[in-house]
Amino acid sequence: MKIANLQAEKDFIQWDRYVLDHPMATGYHLTAWRRVIEDTFGHRTSYLMVKDEQGDVRGVLPLVLLSSRLFGKFFISLPFVNYGGILADGEEAKRLLLEAAVLEAKEARASHIELRHQDIGEIGWPCSPRKVSMRLELPGQFEVLWREFPSKLRSQVRRAQKEGMTVRIGGIEYLEDFYTVFSRGMRDLGTPVYGKDFFEAILQTFPKESRICLVSSKSVTLAAGFLYGFRNTQEIPWASSDRRYNHLAPNMLLYSSALEYTCQEGFHLFDFGRSTPGSGTYRFKEQWGARPVPLRWYYWLRDGNELPQLNPQNSKYSLAIKIWQKLPLALTTHLGPHIVKYLP
């Protein structure tokens, strides 16, 4: 078997065919996400593919290089989303991909490689188990799911409905409303926000797979979520609500409506996204019936470095987060995309 770095159009076709046939693949393994990341952020990518003597694909590994003076240089599969990593037919293909990834990292003088796996088995690299994916198996009808919700949760959803809030689900026509709420929510959390062009690129690249869900009161959008579907799973990787209206529970109506839509569309699993066990977001997702699934993120570390801690829970960023939360929204919306493009 031989390693190749994805270049020719025919290789793109082979790659995607392999992904669509692989049982452990996610939508993020598709080459269309390479275009989204390259066009939006300008990052260098290395899409590694193993072929056998007959020219058939036996494994793939998408890698993105993030490089900045502030946060360093490292490869990740994949940044900005929850999943990525190796897909391979057997140990030999897996080994070749890992060796090729390490060679890429050494040549680029990267500090580490991060592979965001769901479950690939042992690969001999240090593993961080600190994150879980919160997932909910769905019945065929939303009414069945509704009856399973705790009474307190149902009353919170009804509270939003009684306030006259409306729900809209659509595509790129709702991008502006989504981004208005999302950018404010990220500022309030002390987190730099992605540029609007990132979400626009996803909606344009995946018009059938991506949707925006909005909860509004009159002409004001109070909560918004971004949905992405692949196979039998619908995920909500980005969502936010305007905390000035938290007492009206728009976020509860947002998630209830997203779940109802997901059931109607025939998905069997709803992925609430990753959380740290015991955190506030973990408990929020747990109340809907979601159960934790461990995420195994593996690391190659140059020169025996410690596991990277580029996350808001790192105490070294606490002061920066507090300052960011107090900045004007217009400023954080302008500066955020220039910073977050280097954060995994």
Segment holding 212, helix H or strand E: strand 210-217
Q: CB–CB of 297/131 below 8 Å?
A: yes
Q: What is the pLDDT of residues 190-223, one digit of tens each?
A: 999 999 999 999 999 999 999 999 999 988 999 9
pLDDT value of residue 315: 67
pLDDT value of residue 264: 96
pLDDT value of residue 325: 92
d(CA 313, CA 203): 30
Q: CB–CB of 196/181 below 8 Å?
A: no
Domains and CATH numbers, the chain: 2-131+296-308 (3.40.630.30), 133-293 (3.40.630.30)
Residues with pLDDT less than 70, the chain = 120-121, 310-315
Q: Which token pair is 215?
A: 């909860």
d(CA 93, CA 89): 6
pLDDT value of residue 10: 83
Q: What is the pLDDT of residues 89-113, one digit of tens each?
A: 999 999 999 999 999 999 999 999 9
Q: Which token pair is 100?
A: 């090729």
Helices (H), the chain: 9-21, 32-41, 91-108, 142-148, 151-162, 175-189, 196-205, 250-264, 280-286, 318-326, 329-340
